Amino acid sequence: MLSREDNELLTRTGPGTPMGNLMRRYWIPALFSNQLAEPDGAPVRVKLLGEKLVAFRDTEGRVGLLDERCPHRTASLFFGRNEECGLRCVYHGWKFDVEGNCVDLPSEPWDKDFKRKIKITAYPCIERGGLVWAYMGPPELKPDFPDLEWTLVPDANRYVTRHVQECNWLQALEGGFDTSHLTFLHRGDEGNADGVRMSLPNRYEVLPMDFGFAAGTCREQGEKNFWTCSIMLMPFHKLISTSPIGAHVWVPVDDENTMNYCIEYWPDKPLSRDDLADSEEAFFIHPQMIPGTDRPIANRDNEYLIDRTLQKSGTSYTGIKGIGRQDCSVQESMGPISDRTIEHLGMSDSVIIKMRRLLLKTVQDVAEGATPPGLNAAAYRVRSSRFTVPATVSFEDAVDEFVRVKDPVPAQ
Ligand code: FES
Ligand SMILES: [Fe+2]
């Protein structure tokens, strides 16, 4: 369990909150590049970490991400005219460029100085891996874009979807690192042979690393230890040890909604039809979507299409089809922000407990001026891994050898 204060500290990400300040030190996925398909096209509403923003691609192809509210009288720039290298508010014609400068102020032609004084909040953007990423932190602390492998590979090697999860980001992150649920929640699912086969692990480790942390679960096999190592990249990424390689990014939309980006990729070859067959059936991590929205077809309003007959039949533990859908159902069922003061955690929750401690320490250290982990771009050159080592070798001693990528895709 967590104290009410610690739960607040970890879950609140709005402007000025300690966790929000920490997240704003990193590049954050904002939307797909193809949502801004062409210069001077329609602006798109984006909500990140509780901030209402509007994205647009200007005449030169540059992406801007501005506060949605016009600084004149707060009308929404979503209705704006995207023209001649700027977004113009339709209420009284004020116009802003991608850097947030006011470049035209036709309603005050007599005051030449006024325009100079007006600025709108604008976050720098960069396009990588088919997404627009924003940096929302202090300008002088902006890091290089991280060497995140799935953003570096050719487009044909990568498949990315996204959907909104109707709960706080930490429920999604904790769900991603909750090791013991594989044996239960996902049992019987075709995408999860491991869940059927595997016993509960004997040991759990979480190690702070230069990129975030490495979470290891150990099954002892005589003289040898079999480790499954998941990677958490600060502040909200997971790398999954599947083939093709899987990844998640859990971006807070606000404190009660999370944009879950789901990625599959090969470092060195295009994805094949077979690779994606499971995805199309929604057995793995990509849900089937209500067209034109970020909402899955199976959602809490229809109880995730749970089939009680299937649940009783013994072929599916949940009666809910698809791993991602199963995860959503339980994570959202905890409420918009789970009340961690009433939990009862056991041995099998060690990863969750250690991960929370590490996150709390990082938030507190950074609030006191420390530099957060993972700002060095090269630190992200890692993959999840499964490995077997002699029982005499500790997780800590083995992990570097198995998670660091030896043949990184060159950074752009
Ligand atoms: S509210 Fe935008 S120009 Fe007046
Ligand atoms: Fe899961």
91 lines ligand 1 (CB under 6 A): yes
- Sorted by sequence, the CB contacts under 8 Å of residue 400 that are 6+ apart come out as none
94 close to ligand 1 (CB < 6 Angstrom) = yes
What gap in Å lies between CA 361 and CA 273, rounded to an integer? 44
Amino acid at 383: R
Q: Return the minimum-mean-pLDDT range out of 60-64, 166-170, 284-288.
A: 284-288
> Averaged over 301-311, what is the pLDDT?
96
Q: Which CATH superfamily is domain 149-403 in?
A: Naphthalene 1,2-dioxygenase Alpha Subunit; Chain A, domain 1 (3.90.380.10)
Of the pLDDT bands very low, low, confident and very high (cuts 50, 70, 90), residue 291 is very high
- pLDDT tens-digit map of 106-162: 998 888 889 899 999 999 999 999 999 999 999 999 999 999 999 999 999 999 999
Which has the closest alpha carbon to 170: 395, 335, 404? 335
pLDDT (0 to 100) of residue 195: 45
Whether 27-141 and 149-403 share one fold: the answer is no
Q: What is the mean pLDDT of residues 87-114?
A: 94
pLDDT for the residue 407? 85
**Beta carbon of 75 within 6 Å of any ligand 1 atom:** yes
Position 180 scores a pLDDT of: 87
pLDDT of residue 390 exceeding 90, the answer is: yes
Say which amino acid occupies 236. F
Reported as a pLDDT band with limits 50, 70 and 90, residue 164 is very high
Segments making up each domain of the chain, as ranges:
27-141, 149-403
pLDDT of residue 200: 75
pLDDT at 391 over 70: yes
CATH number assigned to the domain covering 27-141: 2.102.10.10
Whether 404 lines ligand 1, by a CB cut-off of 6 Å, is no
From ligand 2's centre to the CA of 176, what distance in Å?
A: 6
Is 196's pLDDT higher than 80? no
- The ligand that comes nearest to the alpha carbon of residue 242 is 2
Answer whether 84's CB lies under 8 Å from 50's CB: no
How far does residue 35's CA lie from ligand 2's centre (Å)?
29
- 73 in contact with ligand 1, CB cutoff 6 A: yes
83 CA distance to ligand 2 centroid (A)? 45
C-alpha 94 to ligand 2 mean position (Å): 48
Average model confidence (pLDDT) for the chain?
A: 93
Q: Cα separation of 24 and 124, whole Å?
A: 12
Residue with the smallest CA separation from ligand 1 atom 3 is 92
What's the sign of the alpha-carbon dihedral 203, 208, 210, 215? Answer: positive
For residue 327, the ligand closest to its alpha carbon is 2
In 191-343, alpha helices (H): 193-197, 273-280, 308-313, 323-333
Distance CA 312, CA 132 (A): 44
Cα 353 to ligand 2 centre (Å): 17
Residue 281 has pLDDT above 80, yes or no: no
Q: Mutate which of 81, 91, 95, 103 to test ligand 1's pocket (most atoms within 8 Å of Cβ)? A: 91
Please tell me if the CB atom of residue 118 comes closer than 6 angstroms to any atom of ligand 1. no
The percent of residues above 90 in pLDDT, for the chain, comes to 84
pLDDT score at 282: 52
CA 216, CA 228: separation in Å to the nearest integer? 6
Mean pLDDT throughout 223-232? 95
- Reported confidence tier of residue 193, pLDDT bands at 50, 70, 90: very low
Q: How far apart are CA 200 and CA 178, in angstroms?
A: 12
As a whole number of Å, the end-to-end CA separation of the chain is 43
Cβ–ligand 1 distance for 271 under 6 Å, the answer no
Distance in Å, CA 73 to ligand 2 centroid: 45
* Closest atom, ligand 1, to C-alpha of 92: 3
How does pLDDT run across 335-377, given as a tens digit for each residue? Answer: 999 999 999 999 989 999 999 999 999 999 999 999 999 999 9
10 Å CB burial of residue 57 (0-12, 13-18, 19+) is: buried
> Can you tell me the distance from the alpha carbon of 137 to that of 49, in angstroms, rounded to the nearest whole number?
12
What is the mean pLDDT of the segment spanning 215-232?
A: 94
| Residue closest by Cα to atom 1 of ligand 1 | 73
Atom of ligand 1 nearest to the CA of 75: 1
User: Helices (H) and strands (E) in the chain — how many of each?
Assistant: 11, 18
Atom number, ligand 1, closest to the C-alpha of residue 89 = 2
Is the distance from the beta carbon of residue 70 to the nearest atom of ligand 1 less than 6 Å? Answer: yes
pTM of the model: 0.95
CA of 242 to the centre of ligand 2 (A): 13
